[in-house]
Amino acid sequence: MKRLLFAILLLAAPLFAQQTAITNVRLFDGTKVIPHATVLIDGTRIAAAGATVAVPKDANVIDGNGKTLLPGLIDSHTHVFPGSLERALRFGVTTELDMFTSLRTLDPLRAEQAKGSVTNRADVYSAGTLVTVAGGHGSEYFPIPTFKTGDDPQAFVDARIAEGSDYIKLIVETGEAYGMKLPTLSKSDLTALIAAAHKRGKMAVVHISTLAGARDAIDAGADALVHIFADKVPDAGFGAFVAAHHAFVVPTLTVNESTTGIGSGTSLNTDAHLAPYLNADEMTNLKTSFPKAKDLSLDNAYAAVRQLKAAGVPILAGTDAPNPGTAHGASMHREMELLVRSGLTPLEALTAATSLPAKQFKLNDRGRVAAGLRADLLLVDGDPTTDILATRNIAGVWKNGAMLDRKPEPKRVEAAPVAAVVPNVGDGMINNFDSGDTKPAFGSGWDVSTDSIAGGKSTASMDVVAGGANGTPKSLHIHADTQPGFMFPWAGAMLMLGATPMQPVDLSSKSGLSFFAKGDTEIRVMLFAASTGRIPRQTTVHAGADWTAITLPWIAFNTDGKDVQMLVFCGPDKGTVDFAIDELRLK
Rounded to the nearest integer, the mean pLDDT of the chain is: 92
pLDDT digits (tens, 9 = 90+) for 328-383: 999 999 999 999 999 999 999 999 999 999 999 999 999 999 999 999 999 999 99
- In this predicted structure, what is the pLDDT of residue 5? 36
DSSP lists the bridge partners of residue 549 as 516
Strands 73-78 and 93-98, by their bridges, are: parallel
Compute the distance between CA of residue 27 and CA of residue 383 in angstroms, rounded to an integer. 10
- In this predicted structure, what is the pLDDT of residue 1? 42
- Looking at the predicted structure, is the pLDDT value of residue 291 above 80? no
Contact assessment for residue 76 and residue 88, using Cβ atoms and an 8 Å cutoff: no
The radius of gyration of the chain from alpha carbons, rounded to an integer in Å, stands at 26
Q: Which domains, and CATH codes, for the chain?
A: 72-367 (3.20.20.140), 429-586 (2.60.120.430)
- In this predicted structure, what is the pLDDT of residue 538? 83
Compute the distance between CA of residue 504 and CA of residue 500 in angstroms, rounded to an integer. 9
- Looking at the predicted structure, is the pLDDT value of residue 11 above 60? no
The 3-state DSSP composition of the chain as helix, strand, coil percent (nearest 5) reads 25, 25, 45
Contact assessment for residue 511 and residue 128, using Cβ atoms and an 8 Å cutoff: no
Contact assessment for residue 370 and residue 41, using Cβ atoms and an 8 Å cutoff: no
Q: How far is the CA of 170 from the CAs of 106, 134, 153, 156, in angstroms?
A: 18, 13, 12, 12
- In this predicted structure, what is the pLDDT of residue 309? 98
| Residue 585 DSSP class | E
Q: Which of 83, 127, 75, 134 is nearest to 101 (CA)?
A: 127
- In this predicted structure, what is the pLDDT of residue 573? 83
Between residues 555 and 522, the one the model is more confident about? 522
- In this predicted structure, what is the pLDDT of residue 534? 67
Burial of 472 (0-12, 13-18, 19+ CB in 10 A): middle
pLDDT digits (tens, 9 = 90+) for 78-117: 999 999 999 999 999 999 999 999 998 999 999 999 998 8
Confidence of residue 557 (pLDDT cuts 50, 70, 90): confident
Compute the distance between CA of residue 142 and CA of residue 162 in angstroms, rounded to an integer. 20
- Looking at the predicted structure, is the pLDDT value of residue 10 above 60? no
**471 CB contacts (<8 Å, ≥6 apart)?**
none
Percent of the chain with pLDDT over 90: 80
- In this predicted structure, what is the pLDDT of residue 14? 43
- In this predicted structure, what is the pLDDT of residue 412? 65
Strands 67-71 and 20-28, by their bridges, are: parallel
What pTM was computed for the model? 0.80
**8 CB contacts (<8 Å, ≥6 apart)?**
none
Mean pLDDT in residue range 113-134:
95
- In this predicted structure, what is the pLDDT of residue 414? 57
Q: Which of 41, 44, 46, 71 is nearest to 59 (CA)?
A: 41
- In this predicted structure, what is the pLDDT of residue 116? 83
pLDDT digits (tens, 9 = 90+) for 458-486: 999 999 999 999 999 999 999 999 997 66
- Looking at the predicted structure, is the pLDDT value of residue 6 above 50? no
- Looking at the predicted structure, is the pLDDT value of residue 149 above 60? yes
Contact assessment for residue 139 and residue 542, using Cβ atoms and an 8 Å cutoff: no
Of 275-289, 400-414, 458-472, the one with minimum mean pLDDT is: 400-414
Contact assessment for residue 538 and residue 492, using Cβ atoms and an 8 Å cutoff: no
Mean pLDDT in residue range 196-207:
98
- In this predicted structure, what is the pLDDT of residue 366? 98
- Looking at the predicted structure, is the pLDDT value of residue 438 above 70? yes
Mean pLDDT in residue range 26-30:
98
Strands 402-403 and 474-482, by their bridges, are: unpaired
Compute the distance between CA of residue 256 and CA of residue 209 in angstroms, rounded to an integer. 9
Q: Which of 210, 195, 93, 187 is nearest to 133 (CA)?
A: 187
- In this predicted structure, what is the pLDDT of residue 489? 83
- In this predicted structure, what is the pLDDT of residue 420? 83
Three-state secondary structure of 96-159: EEECCCCHHHHHHHHHHHHHCCCCCCCEEEECCCCECCCCCCCCCCCCCCCCCCCCCHHHHHHH
Between residues 147 and 444, the one the model is more confident about? 147
Between residues 262 and 414, the one the model is more confident about? 262
Compute the distance between CA of residue 498 and CA of residue 513 in angstroms, rounded to an integer. 16
Strands in 73-78's sheet, in edge-to-edge order, are 73-78, 93-98, 123-126
- Looking at the predicted structure, is the pLDDT value of residue 559 above 60? yes
- Looking at the predicted structure, is the pLDDT value of residue 12 above 70? no
SS3 547: coil
- Looking at the predicted structure, is the pLDDT value of residue 146 above 50? yes
Between residues 414 and 274, the one the model is more confident about? 274
- Looking at the predicted structure, is the pLDDT value of residue 231 above 60? yes
Mean pLDDT in residue range 265-274:
96
Number of H helices, E strands in the chain: 13, 26
**Amino acid identity for residue 340 in this structure:** V
- In this predicted structure, what is the pLDDT of residue 282? 94
Compute the distance between CA of residue 249 and CA of residue 239 in angstroms, rounded to an integer. 10
Consecutive H or E run containing 482: strand 474-482
Q: How far is the CA of 93 from the CAs of 39, 73, 96, 422, 564, in angstroms?
A: 19, 4, 7, 42, 33
- In this predicted structure, what is the pLDDT of residue 556? 86
pLDDT digits (tens, 9 = 90+) for 484-541: 766 578 999 999 999 888 899 999 999 999 999 999 999 999 999 887 666 688 888 9
- In this predicted structure, what is the pLDDT of residue 3? 41
Burial of 124 (0-12, 13-18, 19+ CB in 10 A): buried
Q: Which of 576, 441, 423, 549 is nearest to 495 (CA)?
A: 441
Percent of the chain with pLDDT over 70: 95
